[in-house]
Structure 1
Amino acid sequence: MKLSISIFLFLAFVWSGCDSLEDKKGRFLLKGNEKMEENDPKTAIGFYQEAIALDSTYSDAYYNKAMAHLRLNQLEEAIGDLSKSIQFRPDYFEAIFQRGICYLDNGEFYKAREDAERLLKLNSENWKSHFLNGLAQEKLKNYPAALEAFESAAVLEPSNSDLLVNQATILFYQKQFEKAKSILDQAEKINPGEPNLHNLRSMIFFEEGDYQLALDAVEKAITLDNRQAYFYNNKGLYLLFLDQKEEGLNLINQSIQMDPKNPFALRNKGIYYVMMGDKVSALSYLSDLAKNYPDMELVKEYLEKAQAL
């Protein structure tokens, strides 16, 4: 059970004219942007680097180069370029926001919170300042602060259904299921095609013990977005509890192939082996999870069941 974090990619644009230094570096920037539009980030990086060679303090070129690195899943390189961009332009709001998102994806939650605090000082009227703060506080498990931040973001950007889903997620963590479902209903009115709201709703139904409703909801999420490993993992879990164990295991394995690092999928395999009475296999999954993720839902319960087999 995992919720994704979306990375917003924006490019900086500069108009170029004749032959001055500004014009030359601007042309390299625009050539890089054209390559990004052609989905060729490797070539784009070369053009951005040419612009930087002309002006080592060119914040927009560092920023766009970072966006190209993100397209290539080069997170450390993106963070480095964003930091350069901010060094030469300390009030570069979008660069700070993107770096905060990158820090979250890189597991550097305190640094992400620092960037959120910086954005709040720069512009507390921009919803992204509160959004990044909410994401960082969520990762740090400061749930009341995260909820407050997402609420503030939603006030500033009421048409953004994701901000409501974020609020519902925090309420889910706090076991406030009725409030979470109510907010998800609001989000669905704004954007019924948001897959994460249906996935979260499925997780709430599962916690409430209504496995068929959970299955129906996650299937809707998969219909809307069939690329998310954790949707298949959740569907597999629900099928285990609906006594469709082999079909459930197949989906859990599919999820692991898509995302081998998701510990919830490994937990679900452990649950499967407990249900099948295979003590050795169950313990091989659940024992390590109990050490590394002691607070993960169902791990302690099914580890005890495995030990009792």
Structure 2
Amino acid sequence: MQKSWTLFLLVLAVVAACSPANRKNRIKYTFETANKKLNEGYYEEAVVLYTQVLDKDPEITDAYLNRGVAYYEMGKYVLALADYNEVYRQRPAYHEVLFNRAYAYMELERVQNALEDLEFLGQIYPDTALLAVVEGLVYEKQSDYPKAIECFTVAIGRDANNFDAYSNRAVMQYNLEDYPAAKVDILEALTIHQNEPYALNTLALIDAEMGELAEADSVIQLAMSMVGGQAYFINNAGYIQLKQGDIQAADSLIRLSLKYDDKNPFAYKNLGELYLEKKQVNEAVSVLQQSIALDSGLIGSYELLVDAYLSINDHVSACAVYEFRADQLERNPCE
């Protein structure tokens, strides 16, 4: 999947500061400006503003929470975790922050810690859809897509209008290559939350895999128009152009996405596929190895790397790649 699942992060929009009126108003204005930047996706600017708030009053718990969300969205999970821990230290009765902390633990591959938080939350909120959604994301992180689907289905049973459950179940169906089921779920999600850009991104990828390339291109363009500079959207637009056979446009978009985020394994995978189309095998091998280094679970990169080696009759290297992921790769080049 080209980074499509969405998740719910708790954000607080109000601030209380125990300080004189003028100072309190300045803090409130800075906090509200930071929230606006956060909601618009300007995470670095939001972090700067939340930090200014905390410099003036380090007891404003909400600023730690929202700064943690901004750090999370920037991929700075250690810093996000530190802020969530501070929220919980200052306000131990605010158990909801543990949902956010579980997300951070998952990204840091601390699955057991995430499960411990979820187990605790399950005692407090045993029948909430959100708990089932987060449990599903834990299983997704472990690539246990069937179990993740079970969790998202439970969430839908608890809340028939749960956008996150439908959108994430669609991603799991996509990962299992059940594209018709994935499309049903993502369209349901978009009925609940019309034109949500990350759901549109998922829909575009599903359409692409179903061969509906013109529709996929139209949908990803809409998503990009709503969230400027989103590296994964731009890369996915390049992937769709690649499937349409427009190598030049694909090359331009994929490289542009890497300018925004040079740690995206999907972009290197797509670039590898593009190089193979251009018969530039050495370049393909290099970027596919980069993709695998960034995400060792991205099976598509292994498949392309096997193809690259076979195209130059390097059966030894192709076989070595296959044996590393033999349980997940269909074609055996070692025979």
Aligned to 1:37: 32
Question: What does residue 136 of structure 1 align with?
Answer: 138
The CA deviation at 1:217 is 3.0
1:49-95 CA-to-partner distances (Å, cap 9, x unmatched) read 2x4xxxxxxxxx44532423544656434423432443565442222
| Conserved 8 A contact 1:172-1:204 | yes
- TM-aligned CA deviation for residue 195 of structure 1: 2.0
Give the distance between the partners of 1:199 and 1:305, measured in 2 at CA: 28
Which residue is equivalent to 1:150?
A: 152
| CA pair 127-47 structure 1, distance change in 2 beyond 3 A | farther
Q: CA deviation at 1:138?
A: 1.2
Task: Report if the CA contact (8 A) 1:195-1:224 is conserved.
Answer: yes
2-structure distance, mates of 1:249, 1:169: 25
Given that 2:68 and 2:84 are in contact with CA atoms closer than 8 Å, whether structure 1 keeps it comes out as no
Whole-Å Cα distance in 1 between the matches of residues 26 and 274 of structure 2? Answer: 53
User: Which residue pairs with 1:3 in the alignment?
Assistant: 4
Q: Which residue of 1 aligns with 2:66?
A: 67
Q: CA deviation at 1:221?
A: 2.4
TM-score by length of 1: 0.80
2:265 touches 2:290 (CA, 8 Å); kept in 1?
A: no
Q: Which of 56, 66, 73 in structure 2 is aligned with 1:47?
A: 56
Letter in 2 for 1:3: S
Question: In the TM superposition, what is the alpha-carbon distance from 1:28 to its structure 2 partner?
Answer: 9.0
The SS at the match of 2:96 is helix
Q: Which residue number corresponds to residue 244 of structure 1?
A: 246
Distance 2:294 2:87 in 1: 37
Counterpart CA distance in 1 for 2:230 and 2:160 is 26
TM-score norm. by structure 2 comes to 0.75
Partner in structure 1 of residue 329 of structure 2:
none
Aligned residue type for 1:64: A
List 4+ stretches of structure 1 deviating above 6 A.
27-31
Alpha-carbon distance between aligned partners in 1 of 2:180 and 2:86, rounded to the nearest angstrom: 45
1:142-171 CA distances to partner (integer Å, 9 max, x unpaired)? 323322222233344433423211111111
Separation (CA, whole Å) in 2 of partners of 1:303 and 1:269: 12
User: Aligned match of 1:126 in 115, 125, 128?
Assistant: 128
RMSD, aligned CA:
3.1
1:304 aligns with 2:303: no
Report how many residues are paired.
Answer: 292
Is there any run of 5+ residues in structure 1 with no aligned partner, and where? 17-22, 52-60
Amino acid at match of 1:232: I
Structure 1 residues 91, 145: CA separation in 2 closer, same or farther (over 3 Å shift)? Answer: farther
- Identity of aligned pairs, percent? 23
* Cα distance in 1 between the residues matched to 2:148 and 2:102: 15
Contact 1:112 1:132 in 2 (8 A): no
